[in-house]
Structure 1
Amino acid sequence: MNASERVVPEGARRRRRPTKQGVVLSEQLIVETALRLIGEHGAAALTVRRLGAALGCDPSALYRYFRDTDELLLAVADELIGRTLRSWRPTGEWRADLRSLGLRMHADYLTHPQAALLTCARVTGRTHEIRSVEVILGVLRGAGFPDPEAVRIYHVFVDQTLSFAALDASTLALPEQARAQEVQAWPEIYARQPADTHPNIAATAPVLVAEMGRSGYPAALEMVLAAAAARLQHVRR
């Protein structure tokens, strides 16, 4: 898309006639279609030609909603955040709430691995992301963390979640054969290392194979929450 194109104000965006597929264009429809196409084609999906064909409209109509493909990508990123927030329910216990939110964020990104690779490093500045920042800081401040501690823990919590989401998504996005090779490397190569040359690998091989076959995020999340709890105890003292 051309960044110089003027985006039409919200109230004037609705098409007067349905597209060829019988639907009326909207920002939400474009975002959902882009998310689906990214899942099928990766970054190559973000062209006005592909989107126009999928929506059954003239590609130029997309300029009425987004200035360029980067703005659309930020909207896709914000939609993923919104989906997490819509399905998450706080309990009022800060540690349980951050745990459930982190695990849900991670899982939701892995549902769309191609989109995760494109969006995890982006700051959207849009509605859902702003709400997520407000919610997480509210959980931490409500637990009694002083503002500097709350912001620091927020930073670590979010960056850790997004980093693991991108890492795990990169594995899911591999071609099937490459992904299978990654999985089999642990039992077929590491577990067979001789004790005389690699005593530590040999001693831990069964545990190593089991552990490396799953994401490290849940364990890493527990470490962050434990460290945060220790900081809160220190602050209260």
Structure 2
Amino acid sequence: MKTANRTARTGPRKVRLDTQKIIAAGLKVAAEHPSSAFSAKLLGVELGVDPSAVYRHFRSKSHLMEALLDELHARALHGITASHDDWRGRIQGLADGTLREYCAHPSIAAEAMTLTTHGPGELGAMELLLSSLTTCGLDEAGVLQHYSLISAYTLSMSSGIARARAEDGEPAGEQRGPERWVEGPLHVDPRTYPQIAHYSSRLVELDDHAIYLAGMNALLDAAERDAHKTR
């Protein structure tokens, strides 16, 4: 009878889920299966549950994606090493960290321009940008203007780069460096496209990471110039 009782209790173990366990599994799935679309089915496999079980903890897939995206923002913030008085270094650190986390989790990054998380990661990034631009010396109107420009640039460019890399078929688990901005070589008729022909060799040397950082530096230079005008 003892043997029979033990056998009767043997079967699939019930998996205990909580939000943090689901978020950790979601990030793992997004990192190991680079794609521009997040798979709830793969998340269920990773957790060992039917995917529908996840929605006992999240109202919808959008709610789940908000939580995953906010965790990426929190990770980007955590990686910043610049001191609080180094306003420029802190914004650059946030921009670089956002690109890094988005490229590591492209299916989550794909939601960045359509979801607002209102979570601690997103709020922390907003606070950092606003406080850094205030430290820069901008007046209130300038802070708001440059905040909107920098945040929109960071989210759109990081998301776009991450999606492009995922669609190129980056193997799971492989960390890859910057990608060329323009695929080459560019063979054009110089009589029709004289400027393309002139810059052809240099265009194909451009990479996405360098362009991203150059754009951010241009935005920070503009903020600094405006701050000097108000002093």
The answer to whether the superposition gives a TM-score over 0.5 is: yes
Q: 1: CA distance between counterparts of 2:192 and 2:52?
A: 63
Deviation at 1:43, TM superposition (A): 2.9
Q: 2: CA distance between counterparts of 1:162 and 1:138?
A: 19
Aligned-residue CA RMSD (Å): 2.6
Q: 1: CA distance between counterparts of 2:208 and 2:131?
A: 35
Cα distance per residue 1:154-194 (max 9 Å; x no partner): 111111011111221221121449xxxx9697323x2x223
List gaps (5 residues or longer) in structure 2. 1-11, 171-178
Contact 2:36–2:166 (8 Å) recurs in 1? no
**1:86 equivalenced with 2:78 (yes/no):** yes
- Which residue is 2:143 aligned to? 150
Cα distance per residue 1:183-212 (max 9 Å; x no partner): 697323x2x223223211111111111125
> Which residues of 2 match residues 168-187 of structure 1 at below 5 A?
168-176=161-169, 186-187=183-184
Q: Percent identical across equivalent pairs?
A: 27
Q: 2: CA distance between counterparts of 1:187 and 1:54?
A: 40
TM-score calculated relative to the size of structure 2: 0.79
Contact 1:35–1:76 (8 Å) recurs in 2? yes
Cα distance per residue 1:80-107 (max 9 Å; x no partner): 0011111112322212221222122122
- Which residue is 1:233 aligned to? 228
> Which residues of 2 match residues 1-237 of structure 1 at below 5 A?
20=13, 24-39=16-31, 40=33, 42-43=36-37, 45-46=39-40, 50-57=42-49, 59=51, 61-91=53-83, 92-176=85-169, 186-188=183-185, 190=186, 192-211=187-206, 216-236=211-231
Q: 2: CA distance between counterparts of 1:44 and 1:221?
A: 28
Q: Which amino acid aligns with 2:99?
A: H
TM-score calculated relative to the size of structure 1: 0.77
Q: 1: CA distance between counterparts of 2:205 and 2:215?
A: 16
List gaps (5 residues or longer) in structure 1. 1-18
Change in 2 beyond 3 A, CA 1:36/1:93: same
More helix by share: 1
Higher relative contact order (CA 8 A, sep 6+): 2
